[in-house]
Chains A and B, each alone.
Chain A
């Protein structure tokens, strides 16, 4: 019965005190008075809401605008200086760029994915369970999500699940190098080629011994059967034979002489090795034995250089650098999608359920394919709902903060920066410049306003 208090005072009987002689004046006509009273009562009812809105929304906005015109200490008026300083700062420009990427990519992807999932779940049997599972991430706080995805994206395959998959798949097809860290001590004997292989600088003809020393091989990388290389290194070569050893030129515990095969130094087994003729063609290939020895026999006379192909030294595949400067924003958008897809899907599914079925049936009877129905009927009819989801997401995405703050590691925080985070960093997170922070807040507000207006208009239109 909310109308009664409005009606009661609007009743014909004027209050005794008010029924004065001034009835001739038109502004005191009963109708006017009733009008005024009705307005007063309406105001009275609106007052609590207005007060709350004023205290919690209008006042902070006005205060922020005012604060943005003062310097860090809040005592000196600087006019628009904060606004110009804002656009001089490369960190802020990067934040604006990233926020733009977020706004362009995330809402569109979310709405699209939500639509596809909503349409698909309509047709499966366990739709409710499926929707529930997709919706569960909504129940997890952004902070927790951030921590989860920080670990998911971790570079070390022993910890980051995505890289564990990437490395697992990669290594299933490519075994990886035997000695990724091996290298010559310096470039006096072996020179590094562009492709990562090593080639001897001096050429040798058959009948010679060429010993190649490498360092940087961890003892645990050596196969168990690796034996001392000294004996094989001292063996003499036959007439048409080119031989030598590839060995670890480092005596554990120290005392070894560089470039010399010392008694304790071991050979490097399973190293691919090639003899390359003057034209640069590999004429013979082999791999080293357990004592690191190799030999090319029956070589035609001439000068050969010895090459160690790159595959022995290839760096192990370490997965994708999700948290590196280039992929960090897409990676965080991924985490964001994980949270919000369920929400978009549920909203769109609700719209879908409210859609008139007869249109669809008519289309089916007319022989339209499912794809045609989706494109020509479902999507257009759902447009209002899609619009709401899209615009809500746009507004939401502009405020994204916690995910970026938690997922981006220190060194790439600036590469992942967004406006809301920059605002916080500048005002509280070390910058302590609430003037500049307020200016950023105002910028953020101005960017959100168009989306707000759009949403309100749409809301009004749908009501009328």
Chain B
């Protein structure tokens, strides 16, 4: 016991002195701004922890390399796997904290901030984001009035992917409204192909369906309240959104295999059903990552074999944009946290985002990132709809909820929406059950 605490105290002391020394140098060097090639951070190593692996990690490394080139600092990326909070938590406890962490969910950011692990962003980062990010992204990075998380990478979960062949065979155009989408779906099914492949075996795809319908129909304000469970799930807006969703779910011509078939379909299978060699449906809804699945797993070309249209507006609402993203935050206990903050200053610039944008598989919430930086038209479109949505973007609701409600196989929202897909006849009862489950989970 004593041993650890002494060691920790010693570590804090070193960090403190180091920090002071850094401030001193930073002041002393006269702030020649992150001008080209100024090697002000030479000899320092910024450690960054994040969930990325494989291609994503490689592409993020390019961003880090660009930072190194600019500042002379060395960088090191630690992949935490899915469980950021456990890995980062144990590293902080062990006195080996990374300087910067890329946090994948607002809930985790809040958890870190509440534990006092994070350092608020510097004025420079804040000023940069004022012109670059829509306020909603800053809000998601703010905990109790303090701005901790800089959203660097974003995703767009409001994309409906379709096979151009299927649509042209049926002679329909990508629809602009929910009603038009169902009508187009009906026409596609009359041409001999079920309209939608719904991945009902994976509960999270159903929550995404619901979130898009709800965001468009009930509006961003209500969405925020429901995500924070400030209004209950028995609210009329929820029942209405479920009834809207039922228009699709109950029609076995619109859902490939009917609801029973959909409940046996996993997400990868649903993509394959539309874009595989033996198509069983014309459209599939899920986020921008469907594109990666199409080009990666199915070896089809996004843009010619597969296209998308933005999730259409539902009954008079605006087209929804449900998103997600990774926020960069600086950890107090990091040895090079000053340099870490410099990294964030860099990440806040369009320049940093454009490095990764060029490699694909990346969207930036930064509105000053040039669309020409993205590698293809499809990515450009997803990026455009994300940035254009501005303040109306909302984070995936189930990701913000406690795991017992929004993120566990076989229970909570996943299970209840699966039951609803099986039998969509009673939206009110489903809303009641959702509220009961939510009440239990938010309390615990």
Contact = CB atoms under 8 A, between A and B. Distances in A.
A111 interface: no
A287 B263 CA distance: 37
Nearest to A214: B190
B171 A215 contact: no
Contact of B414 (A217, A410, A429): A410
B410 A425 contact: yes
A63 B173 CA distance: 64
Contacts of A432: 402-404, 444
A429 B409 CA distance: 9
Given A216-B253, A323-B264, A430-B404, A414 B411 contact: yes
A72 interface: yes
B200 interface: yes
B201 A409 contact: yes
Choose among B171, B191, B403, B444 the residue with the greatest number of A CB atoms under 10 Å from its CB: B191
Contact of B444 (A217, A408, A431): A431
B169 A252 contact: yes
Report the contact-size class of chain B (Cβ under 8 Å from the partner).
20 to 34
B157 interface: no
A411 B263 contact: yes
B95 interface: no
Interface in B388-426: 402-404, 407-412, 414-415, 418-419, 422
B201 A91 contact: no
A430 B191 contact: no
Interface string B194-214: 000000111100000000000
A433 B200 CA distance: 27
Nearest to A421: B410
B133 to A, nearest CB: 32
B201 A410 contact: yes
Contacts, number: 88
Interface in A120-146: none
B170 interface: yes
B192 A218 contact: yes
B189 interface: yes
Contacts of A155: 264
A126 to B, nearest CB: 41
Contacts of B409: 410, 413
A251 interface: yes
Nearest to B264: A155
Interface string A210-226: 00000111110100000
Contacts of B403: 430, 432
A433 B444 contact: yes
A430 B408 contact: yes
B358 to A, nearest CB: 38
B71 to A, nearest CB: 42
Given A251-B171, A254-B171, A432-B403, A409 B192 contact: no
A181 B192 contact: yes
Interface string A245-261: 00000111111000000
Nearest to B262: A411
B168 interface: yes
B172 interface: yes
B444 A413 contact: no
Nearest to A255: B171
Interface in B150-203: 168-172, 187, 189-193, 200-203
A323 B264 CA distance: 9
A410 B203 contact: yes
A285 interface: no
Given A323-B264, A425-B411, A430-B411, A250 B190 contact: yes
A185 interface: yes
A250 B411 contact: no
B264 A409 contact: yes
Contacts of A429: 408
A95 to B, nearest CB: 12
A413 B203 CA distance: 12
Choose among B169, B172, B187, B410 the residue with the greatest number of A CB atoms under 10 Å from its CB: B410
Contacts of A253: 168-169, 171
A250 B191 contact: yes
Interface residues of A, number: 35
Contacts of A219: 169, 192
B444 to A, nearest CB: 5
B201 A411 contact: yes
Contact of A410 (B189, B202, B402): B202
Contacts of A252: 169-171, 191
A410 B407 CA distance: 12
A323 B203 CA distance: 16
Contacts of A414: 410-411, 415
Nearest to B189: A216
Contacts of B170: 252, 254
Choose among A185, A215, A251 the residue with the greatest number of B CB atoms under 10 Å from its CB: A215
A218 B117 CA distance: 59
Nearest to A72: B444
A447 B5 CA distance: 46
A253 B166 CA distance: 9
Interface string A289-331: 0000000000000000000000000000000010110000000
A411 B418 CA distance: 6
A226 B201 CA distance: 38
B200 A411 contact: yes
Choose among A91, A156, A431, A432 the residue with the greatest number of B CB atoms under 10 Å from its CB: A431
Contacts of B169: 219, 252-253
Contacts of A323: 264
A254 B411 contact: no
B201 to A, nearest CB: 5
Contacts of A408: 410
Contact of A91 (B193, B200, B411): B411
A413 B172 contact: no
Contacts of A410: 201-203, 409-410, 414-415, 418
Nearest to B419: A411
B200 A216 contact: no
Choose among B404, B411, B419 the residue with the greatest number of A CB atoms under 10 Å from its CB: B411
A255 B404 CA distance: 50
A411 B415 contact: yes
A254 B187 CA distance: 9
Interface in A413-431: 413-414, 417, 425, 429-431
A9 to B, nearest CB: 42
B193 A218 contact: yes
A159 to B, nearest CB: 10
Contacts of B415: 410-411, 413-414
Choose among B192, B264, B418 the residue with the greatest number of A CB atoms under 10 Å from its CB: B192
Contacts of B260: 321, 324
Nearest to B411: A430
A340 B193 CA distance: 45
Interface in A173-216: 181, 183, 185, 215-216
A430 B437 CA distance: 12
Contacts of B404: 430-432
Interface of B: 168-172, 187, 189-193, 200-203, 253, 260, 263-264, 402-404, 407-412, 414-415, 418-419, 422, 444
15 contacts: A156-B264, A181-B192, A215-B191, A217-B192, A250-B190, A250-B191, A252-B169, A252-B171, A252-B191, A253-B171, A254-B171, A321-B260, A413-B411, A425-B410, A431-B408
Given A155-B264, A414-B411, A431-B411, 19 more contacts: A91-B411, A215-B192, A216-B189, A216-B192, A216-B253, A219-B169, A221-B192, A250-B191, A251-B171, A254-B171, A254-B172, A254-B187, A411-B201, A417-B410, A425-B408, A430-B404, A430-B407, A431-B404, A433-B444
Question: When A and B form their complex, which 4 residue pairs have the shortest distance between CB atoms, in order from nearest?
Answer: A254-B171, A430-B408, A413-B410, A218-B192
